[in-house]
Amino acid sequence: MDVRIGIADTTQIIEVEMDDDMDRDALRSDIEAALAGKSKILWLTDRKGKELAVPSEQIGFVELGTSDAERKIGFGA
């Protein structure tokens, strides 16, 4: 699963490739808690095990995508 995080007041976007078997609902709950101010830092671990901390107050937006295998390329329907 791909996660894109926009940083407030900049054009910076952080892209993180998560494990495909990541619990999407648990991740959404963590993101919602960060955006609601219930946690000061959003911690993410990518598919290689690298940990990333994003200060909640700096998050402009979060986009949850699909894995690369699920993306369709070309002109098919």
CA distance 62 to 14: 9
What is the band of 67 on the pLDDT scale with cuts at 50, 70, 90? low
Q: Give the pLDDT band (50/70/90) at residue 74.
A: low
Q: Report which of 47, 51, 40, 43 is spatially closest to residue 20, judged by C-alpha positions.
A: 47
**Can you give the pTM of this predicted structure?**
0.78
Q: In the prediction, which pLDDT does 2 show? A: 93
pLDDT of residue 33: 95
Give the model's pLDDT for residue 25. Answer: 93
Asked if residue 66 has pLDDT above 80, the reply is no
Closest to 30 (Cα-Cα) out of 69, 66, 3:
3
